[in-house]
Amino acid sequence: QYQDGAMQSKNVDDELLKRGYAPGANKFTSLRDLYGEFGGPILKDKLWYFLAHEYQKLSNPVNTGTEVTVSTLTRPIVSDTLTWQASPRNKLQFQYQNSPTTVTNLNVSSIRPAESAQRNETGGPEYRVTWTAPYSPKLLVESTVAFQDVDSNILPMTSGVKNSCVDGYEYFELAECQN
């Protein structure tokens, strides 16, 4: 069973409430997933295109015990293709894909406050060329060359914030708080 379409269960009994469970505390702040695609011929029987784009954003509240902060995942996804029928038996396809992902307030918890949180940025473009050629009814040759430039960065959400997990030790000020 769900309440208000928010995918929250109604099976909270008095025992759970006595133990401190707060119904509705783990609801999504927001979930967005927008998608669109479009394609068609550029030159009849010679050149086609296909564009597919998507945007995803998920925001989730995280209770640290002293505050509630929002962790977000953002991912725009691009997949574009251009297909060229070079001859009746040779087809070339050029493809570009990219889906950079950013997660904010990574690893926020009761031990790691929001000011010590991290931002994770991953992804990068991929370029691909595929050649397809049937040599006979029983033999099809397909060759692909691809290049992908992927980055993965874990960065502080706020620059210059000293570690607040361990007080009194200078050499721990730049260390990372972990659960």
Tokens representing 166? 């361990």
pLDDT at residue 29 in the model: 63
Report the predicted TM-score, pTM, of the whole model to 2 decimal places: 0.70
Residues of the chain with confidence (pLDDT) below 50: 1-5, 8, 179
pLDDT at residue 2 in the model: 34
Residue with tokens 């049937």: 134
Q: pLDDT tens digits for 74-102?
A: 999 999 999 999 999 999 999 999 999 99
Within 8 A by CB and 6+ apart from 42, the residues are 48, 49
Residue 175 identity: A
Q: What percent of the chain has pLDDT over 70?
A: 73
DSSP readout, 63-127?
E-SS-EEEEEEEEEEEEEEEEEEEETTEEEEEEEEE--EEEEEET-SSSS-GGG-EEEEEE-EEE
pLDDT at residue 129 in the model: 98
pLDDT at residue 40 in the model: 96
Cα–Cα dist 32/75, whole Å: 10
Backbone angle region of 29, left / alpha / beta, with phi > 0 → left and psi within -120 to 50 → alpha:
alpha
Name the residue among 121, 116, 122 with its Cα closest to residue 159: 116
pLDDT at residue 3 in the model: 38
